[in-house]
Structure 1
Amino acid sequence: MESNLLTDAGADEVNQDFSEYVANLQLHMTLQARNLVPSLKQTLVDSRQQLLHQTQAHFEKLVSRQGL
């Protein structure tokens, strides 16, 4: 009976170590994935800024051709 308790305790410790390893691996993979995928917020800001510059350039071109 006592050897079963030691075996169960050893198995629980191995399971806990394995669970910690898996959790750390998942965290590492999540952080790595973050580096691979561009930020949606940054893309949205860039596209708005690009649209603003295009609109301003188009407007300035129209005004310069009118010859006030």
Structure 2
Amino acid sequence: MAMESNVLTGAGVEENQDFSEYVANLQLHMTLQARNLVPPLKQTLADSRQQLLHQTQAHFEKLASRQGF
């Protein structure tokens, strides 16, 4: 009975290690996929600043064009 218990425990530990390795690989894969799906923060920040600058310039040009100098 003790030998069967050791064999079952050894198999259970091995299955647990296999599962842990599978989960670690899955997490790595998901992290790499997320990097490909989400644009870099620096690029987005620069684009949003540039877009805000263009909107502000257009707004002031519109206001200036409506003024009667």
Could you state the TM-score of these two structures normalised by the residue count of structure 2? Answer: 0.66
Residues 18-68 of structure 1: per-residue CA shift (max 9 Å, x gap): 11101100110111011011122211122334455677899xxx8xxxxxx
Residues paired across the two proteins, number: 65
Q: Distance in 2 between the 1:36 and 1:51 partners?
A: 24
Instruction: Point out the more displaced range, 22-31 or 38-47.
Output: 38-47
Unaligned runs of 5+ in 1: 63-68
Identity %: 73
Q: 1: CA distance between counterparts of 2:32 and 2:14? A: 27
CA–CA separation in structure 1 for the residues paired with 2:11 and 2:4: 10
For residue 47 of structure 2, what is the amino acid of its counterpart?
D
**Structure 1 runs, 4 residues or longer, greater than 4 Å off:** 50-58
